[in-house]
Structure formats: structure tokens, C-alpha cells
Copies of this chain bind each other. A is one copy, B any other.
Amino acid sequence: MATGRTHRPATRSRGIPEATVARLPLYLRALTALSERSVPTVSSEELASAAGVNSAKLRKDFSYLGSYGTRGVGYDVEYLVYQISRELGLTQDWPVVIVGIGNLGAALAGYGGFASRGFRVAALIDADPAMTGKPVAGIPVQHSDDLEKIVSEDGVSIGVIATPAGVAQQVCDRLVAAGVTSILNFAPTVLSVPDGVDVRKVDLSIELQILAFHEQRKAGEEPGAEAAAGGPAGAPGAAVPPAARSTEDTSRKGPDGDMPAVMPA
């Protein structure tokens, strides 16, 4: 969803579509579960429903990886687990640093899904001296003064930023300068990075806002729902609309609910 840039437009190599790459982890998880239950093979139909996609998409996705699978039978679970892992680069060890050990950083440090997928938390880093040395999820927190040393000595190429927004860019700059080339950003800021560095972004409040959008639509369009009047339900006594257009308001073609007459300067 938020990759900094697609590295090179289509560097010769058999290009796996980005949308497919984003689903491989989903398939991998479903396959891992099957593997643990010692299921030997799955059909595209079964696997698709376990992963929450439709089977045509799944087959298409797999076709980009190669012709694994057997017609009339399905896919060999173990074999697919390996192929997808390899494709994603999970057959190698990825040391990761987490910067910013608040509640979120701590949650990430203790998240089981990392270790089981080839990711190793190489270090936890925080700027607060009071945290230094304190173990979080069994790993002692190190001070951010040592960030560069940690990254370069451990050959870390993936960094996770879980700091407040205000310091995220400078943490990012230091990580990049020290050699990190992939960043997962939880701070609600747009990070700017040089070419060749990937940034992915996870934003909790954005997700909620998208849900709110759809939620609002439901209320407005339901056959016999809540206090639905004309347009999208007249908001109850909550946030006060900030301000309005200065000069005219003719020619505004805002579809409905134009503006409650208020005024700035």
C-alpha cells in the first residue's frame, strides 16, 4: 500500500505483481496452519477460503511463481510453504531493530509472528536513559546513542520505527545513514528517504477513519435504519464544523451538506 517507490520500473527479472506479493504472506500463514495439522495437499478452493481470497486470484498469484501444483489434485502443502518462503526471502535470517520502546514497541518486540518467519529482533532502541538495560520481551533495551553501531555491526537492513511522530524523521535518517534500506513506520508522519530505501507505513488512525467512512454510508443508506433524514444523517452534537468559505458560496458544487454558516476571517 505505501511503498516509497517501486525500485526500478521492471528490472528485467520476472516481475511478480505487487498485489500478489502482498498476498503471499497470507497464503503462507494458511499453509503453515495446514502443515501443522499435517494436511498433505490442498485445492486452490480450500486454500483460498482459508486465506480469505477467491480461488481464481490465488491460482493466478501462484502462476506468477511457477507451476507448482498438480492438475486434478491440488498443491503439496510443504512444497508450497517452501517455495513461498523462498520467494519472500524468509529462508534467510533478517535481523531487525525496533526504535521507540513504548507500548507499541513493546508489543512489537513480543510479537510471536516475527521469530516464526525468519525475523530476529536484533535490538530494541530507545532514547530514554531510564529504559536502557531494562529487558523488554527478554531483550535489553539499548540507548539510541548506539544506534549506528548496532545497525552496522549486526548488518541490520530492516528497521521498525515506533517512536512519536516528532522524532520519526530523524530516527529514519540515522537508520538510513547507518545502512538500513527497509523501514516499517508506525509513526503518523510521511517519511522522506533517498532512492533505494523502501518505506511501508502502518497507521492505526487511518484504518479507523476508513471504517468510519463506510460506517457513515451504512447509516445513510440502510432501508429502515437509525435517525436517517435526508442526506447522510445529521451528525448529533459532536465536533463543531471549523470554518467556512470566505467570499461567495454560490458556485460551490459540494454534492450535499454544503456548509453550516460559520466564518473565519
Contact = CB atoms under 8 A, between A and B. Distances in A.
A215 B29 CA distance: 20
B103 A110 contact: yes
Interface in A169-198: 181-184, 188, 190, 196, 198
B67 A208 contact: no
A250 to B, nearest CB: 12
Interface string A75-119: 010110111011111111110100000111011101101100111
Contact of A181 (B82, B190, B218, B264): B218
Task: Report, as a range, how many residues of chain A touch the other chain.
Answer: 35 or more
Given A78-B264, A205-B114, A210 B66 contact: no
Contact of A108 (B203, B204, B221, B245): B204
Contacts of A21: 210, 213
Contact of A196 (B1, B14, B218): B218
Given A88-B213, A221-B11, A239-B85, A158 B117 contact: no
Contacts of A103: 103-104, 106-107, 110
A210 B26 CA distance: 11
Interface stretch (A124-132, A143-151, A252-260): A252-260
B111 A24 contact: no
A39 interface: no
A94 B215 contact: yes
A209 to B, nearest CB: 4
B111 A205 contact: yes
28 contacts: A8-B221, A24-B209, A25-B205, A26-B206, A65-B254, A65-B255, A66-B254, A67-B251, A78-B244, A78-B264, A79-B259, A81-B242, A88-B212, A89-B215, A92-B233, A92-B238, A94-B208, A103-B103, A104-B104, A106-B107, A111-B205, A114-B205, A117-B205, A157-B215, A158-B208, A182-B214, A198-B215, A202-B207
Given A88-B212, A88-B213, A113-B205, 5 more contacts: A13-B217, A25-B203, A92-B233, A96-B208, A103-B103
